[in-house]
Amino acid sequence: MGHNHNHKHQDIATEDKVIKEELQGDVFFKEQMLTNPNRNGKKFYIESYGCQMNFSDSEIVAAILSEVGFEPTRDIDQTDLILINTCSIREKAEETVRKRLQYFNSLKRHRPHLLVGVLGCMAERLKGAFLEQEKIVDMVLGPDAYRDLPRLVATAEDGDKGMNVFLSREETYADINPVRLGGNGISAFVTIMRGCDNMCSFCVVPFTRGRERSRDAFSILAECSELFANGYKEVTLLGQNVDSYKWDNPETNQKVDFADLLLMVADIHPDLRVRFTTSHPKDMTDKVLYAMSSRENICKYIHLPPQSGSSRILKKMNRTYDRAWYMERVEAVYRIIPDCVLSADIITGFCTETEEDHQETLEVMRLSNYYMSYMFYYSERPGTLAARKYADDVDMETKKRRLEEVIQLQNQLSLEHNRQEVGKIHKILVEKDSKRSDLELCGRNSQNKMVVFPRQEAKVGDYVWVKITDFSQGTLRGELVEKPV
């Protein structure tokens, strides 16, 4: 159990899903910046919190700023402009941002010309309140307003504060070629749609990100092709609900749905892996599953959040499916793609949740056999349907105890999952040096399981074959073998 304990802490850290991104890949930046004809000698520093959409947006922001000559830096002491791309999903996520703002404030005291901008979901949710309460903030921009950043930076340089939190029905930043921040040069996120039209009663996203809209499929294909041409081997298509992607080709009047898009991206090249997130159980069709099974390079992994296993709670959550529907979708996944791996998001202690409801969630976890889950206790968000209609009536102790049980079960499921892999051979995309030793590399298999193996002749970006020899809850270890015939 001692060994499990460590993992528990790790899981609680990921539980918060609030990640701080340091800018990496300086070499890549430098190349890009030295050739930037617009350089103005000024630098920006950006930190991102929240979901992958936010990380992807920060790359769009970097592109917009580089157009007007700003250079990215990961050194906060050398920057002219600090941007923080924020998340509102849970109260804790907002607290983290507030703490960072206090820190930025302390920097600003000694550097009067330093500018601070708040971007993303919290900017959208709190709007002008930021400028009033957090006096150090110079600009506030919502997720659809990033094209306005250069103007607001110029305004701030003149000493005036500015805000743009306009939510658009059209903006997809389709024409902007993101400046890849961080990352390994192998794997990139590509946003295919923005906003969300679902109204899950617990969720702020529809308020912070606005209406759902799909991006032009040709611009997605162009971006993915260019990534592949630049050495990338994996793209992850992003949206809050990718299964409702829809786009009309204006030239042919053809309708492109998510399954069609997946095939189009997969057919760029067999060596370009395609992943996606998030799938909504109500919209995930068999057509998507058949598309996945028809291409080796569409990864056999689906993030399919149930949120709860109780039909009564699902109804209150306004997820628009019940337990039976969810389990039918899970069965379809395993029937159509037998080697597929599933992961989940789970909320414990939602309004009125009883012990029986909670047991049903545990049951759905067992039946679905998730490889991993992001697990949270319910955090009431101002303005949401649930906040307006239901009392947040499960006490904190119960929420946390149920969360702990969910985490314990997930740990068992993950360990069992990995135990089954011993002796099997997997195709791995080499992603980076292993954290523990420079004699080792790591990468994931199609099912998104992380595998560590001796470096030998392998290089980052290669596909290699690894036979699994050992496992823990979070990783597999193995040895390089010849490609099986």
User: What are the DSSP calls for 452-464, one per residue?
Assistant: EEE-TT--TT-EE
User: Does 50 contact ligand F3S by CB under 6 A?
Assistant: yes
DSSP state of 298: B
For the chain, what's the residue count? 485
Q: Tell the smallest beta-carbon distance from residue 241 to ligand SF4 (Å).
A: 5
Q: Are 350 and 316 in contact (CB under 8 A)?
A: yes
Q: Are 370 and 418 in contact (CB under 8 A)?
A: no
User: Does 418 contact ligand SAH by CB under 6 A?
Assistant: no
Q: Tell the smallest beta-carbon distance from residue 101 to ligand SAH (Å).
A: 22
Of 23, 60, 119, 205, the one binding ligand F3S (CB under 6 A) is 205
User: What token pair was written down for 441?
Assistant: 């590399």
User: Does 143 contact ligand SAH by CB under 6 A?
Assistant: no
User: What token pair was written down for 281?
Assistant: 């159980």
Q: Are 327 and 269 in contact (CB under 8 A)?
A: no
Choose one: 66-74, 110-118, 197-205, 229-237; the region binding ligand SAH (CB under 6 A). Answer: 197-205
Q: Give the H or E element holding residue 440.
A: strand 440-444
What pairing do the DSSP bridges indicate for beta strands 372-377 and 341-348? parallel
Q: How far apart (Å, rounded) are the C-alpha atoms in residues 92 and 398?
A: 18
Q: Nearest residue to ligand F3S, using CB?
A: 50
**At residue 406, what are phi and psi to the nearest 5 degrees?**
-65, -45
Give the interface size with ligand F3S as a residue count (CB under 6 A).
13
Indicate the residue type of 214: S
User: Does 18 contact ligand SAH by CB under 6 A?
Assistant: no
Of 51, 193, 375, 386, the one binding ligand F3S (CB under 6 A) is 51
Give all strands (DSSP E) within 231-356, no chain letters: 234-238, 246-248, 255-257, 273-277, 301-303, 341-348
User: Does 50 contact ligand SAH by CB under 6 A?
Assistant: no
Query: Out of ligand SAH, ligand SF4, ligand F3S, none, which partner does residue 306 contact, by CB within 5 to 8 A per kind?
Result: none
Query: Out of ligand F3S, ligand SF4, ligand SAH, none, which partner does residue 173 contact, by CB within 5 to 8 A per kind?
Result: none
Query: Out of ligand SF4, ligand F3S, ligand SAH, none, which partner does residue 347 contact, by CB within 5 to 8 A per kind?
Result: ligand SAH
Q: Tell the smallest beta-carbon distance from residue 227 to ligand SAH (Å).
A: 24
Of 33, 46, 53, 179, the one binding ligand F3S (CB under 6 A) is 53
Q: Tell the smallest beta-carbon distance from residue 65 to ligand SF4 (Å).
A: 27
User: What token pair was written down for 275?
Assistant: 């992943």
Q: Tell the smallest beta-carbon distance from residue 346 to ligand SF4 (Å).
A: 12
Choose one: 46-54, 131-139, 224-232, 316-324; the region binding ligand F3S (CB under 6 A). Answer: 46-54
Q: Are 361 and 403 in contact (CB under 8 A)?
A: no
User: What token pair was written down for 348?
Assistant: 């414990």
Closest to ligand SAH by CB, 329 vs 381, is 381
SS3 444: strand
User: Does 209 contact ligand F3S by CB under 6 A?
Assistant: yes
Closest to ligand SF4 by CB, 236 vs 240, is 240
- Residue with the two structure tokens 């099997």: 424
Site for ligand SAH in 230-249 (CB under 6 A): 240-241
- Residue with the two structure tokens 């959208």: 124
**Contact track, ligand F3S, 293-332, x by CB under 6 A:** ----------------------------------------
Q: Are 188 and 153 in contact (CB under 8 A)?
A: no
User: Does 16 contact ligand SAH by CB under 6 A?
Assistant: no
Site for ligand F3S in 81-100 (CB under 6 A): 87-89
> Kindly report the CA angle at 406 between 404 and 407, in degrees rounded to 5?
65
Query: Out of ligand F3S, ligand SAH, ligand SF4, none, which partner does residue 206 contact, by CB within 5 to 8 A per kind?
Result: ligand SF4
Among residues 77, 123, 66, the alpha carbon closest in space to that of 97 is found at: 123
Of 46, 60, 83, 89, the one binding ligand SAH (CB under 6 A) is 89
Q: Nearest residue to ligand SAH, using CB?
A: 345
Q: Are 452 and 421 in contact (CB under 8 A)?
A: no
Among residues 388, 409, 304, 315, the alpha carbon closest in space to that of 353 is found at: 315
Binding site for ligand SF4 (CB under 6 A): 196, 198, 200, 203, 205-206, 240-241, 280
User: Does 280 contact ligand SAH by CB under 6 A?
Assistant: yes
What pairing do the DSSP bridges indicate for beta strands 81-86 and 301-303? unpaired
What pairing do the DSSP bridges indicate for beta strands 301-303 and 341-348? parallel
Among residues 470, 464, 367, the alpha carbon closest in space to that of 418 is found at: 470
Indicate the residue type of 479: E
Of 245, 376, 453, 471, the one binding ligand SAH (CB under 6 A) is 376
Closest to ligand F3S by CB, 126 vs 403, is 126
Of 46, 64, 193, 203, the one binding ligand SAH (CB under 6 A) is 203
Residues that bind ligand SAH (CB under 6 A): 89-90, 202-203, 205, 240-241, 278, 280, 305, 307, 345, 347, 376, 378-379, 381
Residues that bind ligand F3S (CB under 6 A): 50-51, 53-54, 87-89, 120-121, 204-205, 208-209
